[in-house]
Structure formats: structure tokens, C-alpha cells
Amino acid sequence: MKLASILLAGLLVLPSLTADAAAAAATEKKIDDLLGRMTLEEKIGQLNQLSGFGYDPAMVGRINAGAVGSILNEVDPVTVNKLQREAVENSRLGIPLVFARDVIHGFKTIFPIPLGQAATWNPALVEQGARIAADEASSTGVRWTFSPMLDISRDARWGRIAESFGEDPYLTTVLGTAMVRGYQGDDLSKPNTMAACAKHFAGYGYSESGRDYNTTWIPEPLLRDVVLPPFKAMADCGAATFMCSFNDINGVPSSGNRYLLRDILRGEWGYDGMMVSDWGSIQQMIPHGYSADLRQAASQAINAGVDMDMEGYAYVGHLKDLVESGEVDMATVDEAVRNVLRLKYRLGLFDNPYVDEKTANRFYLPQSLEAATRAVEESAVLLKNDAGVLPLASDIKVAVVGPMADAHHDQNGTWSFDMEKNRSVTPLESLRDIYGKDKVIYAPGLKHTRDRSTDGFAAALDAARKADVVIAFVGEEAVLSGEAHSRADISLPGAQSALLKELKKAGKPVVTVIITGRPMVIAGDLDSSNALLYTFHGGTMAGPGIANVLTGRAYPSGRLPNVLPRMSGQLPIYYARKNTGRPAAEMTLIDDIELEAGQTSTGCTSYYLDAGDGPLFPFGYGLGYTTFSYSDPVLSATEITPDGTLTATCRVTNTGSRDGAEVAQLYVRDLVGSLVRPVRELKGFEKVILAPGESREISFTLKAADLGFHRLDNTYVVEPGDFQLWIAPNSAEGTPVSFKIVH
């Protein structure tokens, strides 16, 4: 850039920076003033978050006394305003409440669960979904959502994988940032925004053996390179709040974890947002065995840096005494209160505390339903399509089978508190719209996904015989994933796999559509199917979205945000693994081992005798209705210094005969490190739409500084040496090119 333009750019940027800094300083002054006027009880009140439903006299009493800072779960705008009036007009200092709710994948217009949104690999769509959720929820007075969840999830037994963006820190970072942008907009004080909450800080996805709330053991390099990067991005992009997690890391529960909450978040990252506990998580340090009683738990939590106590009664019960006895400094309480008040100022609540009842309840706008449909379409991952069964022709008779075909409730997935079941459109309804009622023969075969009775099989088989194609909607009900809903066996529950086998007997093509909350074990079901479309609980518009993909009105462009294991026993499993000293080579599987074979006869490499080496499908995998080719990547340089950058370019061509979208994925491997490095790591991706024959050049710019890692002593290093780079359709394909980092 020329000097003149640098100066000009500086002039343009400076005034707004100064204005922001001045506004921030003015806010801090207002907070100083308030803090100076608050009693200790009123301060503690600001740190107290309670769940409330309705205009309850006991709650009103607390609000009038200044003993509540935030209410979660009230979503009626009239009640919100009545409660707010009690705070603003009838409490001594008139500090507004902030109303919160778990708006995780939509408020009324429900979008696919976050794992499904991750499968879109489309940050713009994720941002749009969050914007719609914020508009709907804020129209009831909810100005704070407990989303996004950024827990890296590599164990599909863990029910909360549904709420995650999957196994990869880079994908999670990009989509999490997009979600925050959607919720918060460009100005959080606008009344149609919601404060985001980066949760659960941290390591919750590493719950041992995929069992919820379980302990975690996370060494520093794993913490720094995998668990924390998405959270760091949240601090950097201005996510207004954080929530600490339920689990302990290496023996210290997050609610009492000063290292995480103070040293890293506030110290290293300079975060000035607000930290809320998880539901009762301060109190839960007692059963953890970290606190003897609630008083000690309160002291540990506030000293560690938990600003607000969610439904825990630890702070209201004990902070006053702790301050008076000198065990907790007033300065520590003031700092927490400051963080809460800053949030309320940022949300504009002091100027504009009430929700506008005239424009309240803005739900289900046509453009919102359209965006939700597109999110379903783009989240559908095509895993098999033998002989081009899909897309389905328009002049056929279809048998619609399976317990998820018409599951108005269950297609919404976990965390859809505010959804209205009768607004959900199911695949059965949409297929009837498309084909006409008499061309769709419906015989569910099973009443629900856990149903073990085969009584309905005969009718389902009969329907299959009468039709040209069978579409079987199987999967998991909403309640089988999400918080506290872990499973040890992640195959299709009930008699669903048996139903798929039964349907084969009709001799008609079987198209299986999985609708689920997690990556599942589907190896056998894949064999029973001619085509398989893997979808996640899709929300309100799951029906139209899936039906559009099945019939070619839309094309599948979803890519797996987690590997799909062959067997539950492979868990945890993820693509960015270490190679081991004996990577799998020749594998002799269990049925091929000779009787009385010698101990070393299977080759002594790293694999399972029954499951082999890798997953059933790799991370990033997904087919379309067309095919794509990739040229070899061309690098701008083959050697770069640690402060240098590298551009990798390749040409992607639609080699098939239909439109389609391809997700080009950039992976890197550091071949030799002072700590062994993963076999591949995602460093970029781009989704491109191409017409038949069309090709596009795709370029990624990599900073050498982003190719480092943390050593055991917690230093971050970019080590010189040899690297490989792929631009590929998924984490298992592509031809690598080499480059070096040199000092």
C-alpha cells in the first residue's frame, strides 16, 4: 500500500476506534457510579440467575429487592415486560434484568441441530440461521442465548455431540464465529440481537468414555491445540458471554478452575465479557469432591472467575458472609458485578429495557422457513447412491416406511424447547405434496425408533412390493441425544436394522434416510440400502428439505463433520489422529485368521481384528448427484519462513452432468515434530457451486504461524521441517504436495 493510502485508511479507521474507546470508557464510568451506590446485597443480586416461569410473587419480591440479575426461561413478552418493570421501576437502583434462554438451533423456526448445521460447511447459512433465531427470540424479550457450543466432540456416544460442530477445531471455529455474528449482529445494543454464550469452557467434549458429565484428562498440548482454539476465537470475535463446563479437567472442575477462567481467558486472551456458571455447576463441586459445602463452593467459584451463578443459590446464600469474613475480597465481587453490568450496557438494556409488544412474537416468516429448508438441504450427506437411484423420478409410486417419516416432534432434535410440533413439516407430508397422495403408500413398520416389535413389518413389506421405490426413514428420536443422553451402542435402536433387511425382500430399490442426533454405526444398514442419505434432526422444515434432495429439487452437498465409525468400540475416533509407530499395513481380519495361528502372524500393526483400521466414512466425506475432479495443488513457494505465507491453488471441475456443490478442503501434515503431529489437520475449506463442465480455481492462503503447536511446557512453536498439503474432497483422499518451513 502507498503511504498516502495507508494514511487515508488510518484516518478512516481512527475516528471510529476513538469513538468505540470513548463509548467503552463512558460505560465503565457509569458502572463505577452504579457500583459506588450498590449495597453488597444488591451486588450479589446481580450475580444471581434464576429460572422463572410467569409473574410469580416470590420472584417479584426478589426482583424488587435487587436480588436477581438475570432470569432464564421466561419467553412470554408480556410477562417479560412485567418482570422488567419490577426491576426498572420498583427496585432501588432500577437495574434491568437480562432474560436468557437456550436458543440452540432456532427459537420457533427450528433449524437443523448444530451438528447438522456443521454438515453444511456453509458459514453464511449458519450465520443466517442464528440471525433468524435472534430475531425470533428477541421479539419475546430474550436477549441472551446459551449458544454456540464449541466443545470438540470425538466420541459419538456422548449425547451432546448433537449440539456441537463435530470433531474438528478449525470447522468449529469458523462456524462458531459465524453463529456469534448471526446472534449479535454488528451492534449488540439493537433490540433484535441476542448476546451469544461460548460454552462449555472447557473440555466437556472429552468426557471419559462418552458418558455425560464425566471426568476429563486433557494434557496441555491437547487443551491448547484442539480444545481451546474455538474458544479463543470467541473471545477474539466479541462473544458477549462464556459459560463454564460441568466437567473437571485433570481433577479441577471448571467452575473452580482459576487457570482456565482467569489465567487463560482473562489474562492471556484479555476477555472482558461475562462468565456464567452452568446450571447448578457451582453447587456440583460438592459431589465432584472439590468443595466440602456450598459456602466453600461459592468462594472457590467467585475466586476462580465465575461471575454469575445459574440456578445455584451459592452466591445469594454465601457471598455476603464470605466477603464479611474476608475470605472473598470486595474487589473480586465488584469485578464480577462489573462484567454483568457491562453486558447489560452492551445489550442497550439501560436505555431500552422493554420488548416492543407491538412487534412481539415475530415467528415463522416465509424467508425464515426458506432459509431453514435450505439448511436442511445443505446438511444432508449422501453416502451411497448405487446405480443413480437418487434423485428419484417424478412419475413413480413410492413406499414411505420407517418411524422417522412422520415424526413431527422428533425431527426437531434436542434443545427445541420453543418449537411447536404442529408447525413441523415431515418428510411424509412433503413427499405427499410432491407425488400426490395416491402415489405415496405409507406403512411405518415401527411405531418409534426404539420399537422392537416386528408386527408392522408385513404391512411395510407389502407397501414396498406395491411401489417402485422404498424410502425408509430411520434414525434416533430426539430424546436419544443431547444433554444426559449418551448411548454406549450407537447403532440404530429397536428393530430398525431388521426392518431395512426385511424391505430388501421386495426387490425394489431401498433408499434409506437416517435422521439422527449423532454419528451412528450404520455399516450393516448401508448394505441393506441401495442409496443412503445421512441427515441430522432437521427441525421445522426437515420434511421439505429432505424431500427436495431426494427428488432432485435440490442436490446433496453436506459433508460429514465427524468420521462415521464402523463399530462403537472404535470410539473415540477422529481423522486428525497420530500415526503410531506401527501404522496399519496388511490387515488380517478376524475371520481370516488361521486356526492356531502364531502370535505375530497378523503383522503387529495398529488395527482392530474386527473393525480394521479406519472409520466407515472419513471426516469431510459426502457425495453429490454429480462428480468433481481436482487438479494437483500448485504452491506459491516450496519453502517459507515461520513468519511467511503460502498460497495453495487448485482447479475443481464439475465432471458430471448435473449441478452440484463441492467442498474443497485444505489439509496439512507436519511430518516430523518435537511432538508427533496428526496425520492431517484441516486448515481451510470452501464450498463452491458448479454447473456441469464448469471449473473454478480455488486458492487458500496459509500462514506458517498457524502451522505450529504447543509443546508440553506450553510454548507455541513453528518448527522448521517438511510438510505435506492436500486440497481434497475429504480427509482421506487427494494427492499431497510438499513444502518446507525454513528458518
When the beta carbons of 56 and 483 are compared against ligand BGC, the nearer one is: 483
When the beta carbons of 279 and 739 are compared against ligand BGC, the nearer one is: 279
Task: Give least dist CB 51 to ligand BGC, A.
Answer: 8
Cα–Cα dist 550/537, whole Å: 16
**Cβ–Cβ < 8 Å for 122, 178:** no
When the beta carbons of 204 and 723 are compared against ligand BGC, the nearer one is: 204
Three-class SS state of 630 = strand
Q: 670: alpha, beta or left, given left = phi > 0 and alpha = psi -120 to 50? A: beta
Please, what sign has the CA dihedral across residues 221, 227, 232, 235? negative
Task: Give least dist CB 52 to ligand BGC, A.
Answer: 13
Three-class SS state of 336 = helix
Q: How many residues bind ligand BGC (CB under 6 A)?
A: 6
576 alpha carbon, distance to own chain's centre: 18
Instruction: Describe the crossing of helices 366-379 and 542-550 by its angle, rounded to 10 degrees.
Output: 50
The binder of ligand BGC chosen from 279, 536, 574, 607 (CB under 6 A): 279
Three-class SS state of 123 = helix
Cα–Cα dist 125/180, whole Å: 13
Binding-site string for ligand BGC from residue 429 to residue 468, where x marks contact by CB under 6 A and - marks none: ----------------------------------------
Q: What is the 3-state secondary structure (H, E, C) of 532-599?
A: EEEEECCCCCHHHHHHHHHCCCCCCCCCCCCCECCCHHHCCCCCCCCCCCCECCCCCCHHHCCCCCCC
User: Secondary structure of the chain: what % helix, strand, coil (to 5)?
Assistant: 35, 20, 45
When the beta carbons of 255 and 496 are compared against ligand BGC, the nearer one is: 255
Task: Give least dist CB 196 to ligand BGC, A.
Answer: 12
Helix (H) or strand (E) holding 51: strand 48-51
Cell (9 digits) for 533? 442419505
Q: By CB under 6 A, what part of segment 462-491 binds ligand BGC?
A: 483
Task: Give least dist CB 508 to ligand BGC, A.
Answer: 44
Task: Give least dist CB 49 to ligand BGC, A.
Answer: 9
Cell (9 digits) for 474? 430411520
When the beta carbons of 279 and 345 are compared against ligand BGC, the nearer one is: 279
The binder of ligand BGC chosen from 43, 157, 181, 199 (CB under 6 A): 199
When the beta carbons of 483 and 659 are compared against ligand BGC, the nearer one is: 483
Please, what sign has the CA dihedral across residues 12, 14, 17, 19? negative
Binding-site string for ligand BGC from residue 542 to residue 581, where x marks contact by CB under 6 A and - marks none: ----------------------------------------
- What contacts 358, CB < 8 A, 6 or more positions away? none
Instruction: Fill in the DSSP letter of residue 612.
Output: B
Helix (H) or strand (E) holding 470: strand 469-475
When the beta carbons of 432 and 518 are compared against ligand BGC, the nearer one is: 518
* Residue at shortest CB range from ligand BGC: 146
Task: Give least dist CB 360 to ligand BGC, A.
Answer: 23
Instruction: Fill in the DSSP letter of residue 224.
Output: I
| Pairing outcome for strands 144-145 and 440-442 | unpaired
Cell (9 digits) for 343? 453486558
743 alpha carbon, distance to own chain's centre: 38
| Pairing outcome for strands 248-249 and 252-253 | antiparallel
Task: Give least dist CB 198 to ligand BGC, A.
Answer: 11
Binding-site string for ligand BGC from residue 120 to residue 149, where x marks contact by CB under 6 A and - marks none: --------------------------x---
Task: Give least dist CB 483 to ligand BGC, A.
Answer: 5
Could you tell me which of 204, 165, 156 has the C-alpha nearest to residue 570? 156
Cα–Cα dist 340/264, whole Å: 20
Q: Which residues pair with 629 in a beta bridge?
A: 653
Three-class SS state of 667 = strand
When the beta carbons of 80 and 725 are compared against ligand BGC, the nearer one is: 80
Cα–Cα dist 118/496, whole Å: 26
Please tell me the number of Cα atoms within 13 Å of 524 on its side-chain side.
12
Task: Give least dist CB 581 to ligand BGC, A.
Answer: 39
Task: Give least dist CB 415 to ligand BGC, A.
Answer: 8
Task: Give least dist CB 486 to ligand BGC, A.
Answer: 13
When the beta carbons of 279 and 667 are compared against ligand BGC, the nearer one is: 279
When the beta carbons of 144 and 619 are compared against ligand BGC, the nearer one is: 144
Residue 42 makes contact with ligand BGC by CB under 6 A = no
When the beta carbons of 246 and 534 are compared against ligand BGC, the nearer one is: 246
- What contacts 610, CB < 8 A, 6 or more positions away? 567, 569, 589, 590
Phi, psi of 255 (to 5 degrees): -65, -10
When the beta carbons of 483 and 706 are compared against ligand BGC, the nearer one is: 483
The active-site residue, picked from 225, 278, 410, 670, is 278
Please, what sign has the CA dihedral across residues 116, 121, 127, 132? negative
Q: Which residues pair with 401 in a beta bridge?
A: 472
Q: By CB under 6 A, what part of segment 385-424 binds ligand BGC?
A: none
Phi, psi of 658 (to 5 degrees): -130, 160
When the beta carbons of 279 and 709 are compared against ligand BGC, the nearer one is: 279
Cα–Cα dist 4/657, whole Å: 51
Task: Give least dist CB 424 to ligand BGC, A.
Answer: 22
**Cβ–Cβ < 8 Å for 86, 63:** yes
Q: By CB under 6 A, what part of segment 309-328 binds ligand BGC?
A: none
The binder of ligand BGC chosen from 74, 86, 102, 135 (CB under 6 A): 102
241 alpha carbon, distance to own chain's centre: 17
Binding-site string for ligand BGC from residue 45 to residue 84, where x marks contact by CB under 6 A and - marks none: ----------------------------------------
The binder of ligand BGC chosen from 127, 151, 167, 278 (CB under 6 A): 278
Task: Give least dist CB 190 to ligand BGC, A.
Answer: 23
**Is 351 designated active site?**
no
Instruction: Describe the crossing of helices 330-346 and 3-37 by its angle, rounded to 10 degrees.
Output: 120
- Please identify which residue in the block is written with the cell numbers 456440583: 284
Active site residues per annotation: 278
The residues of the shown chain that bind ligand BGC, judged by CB under 6 A, are 102, 146, 199, 278-279, 483
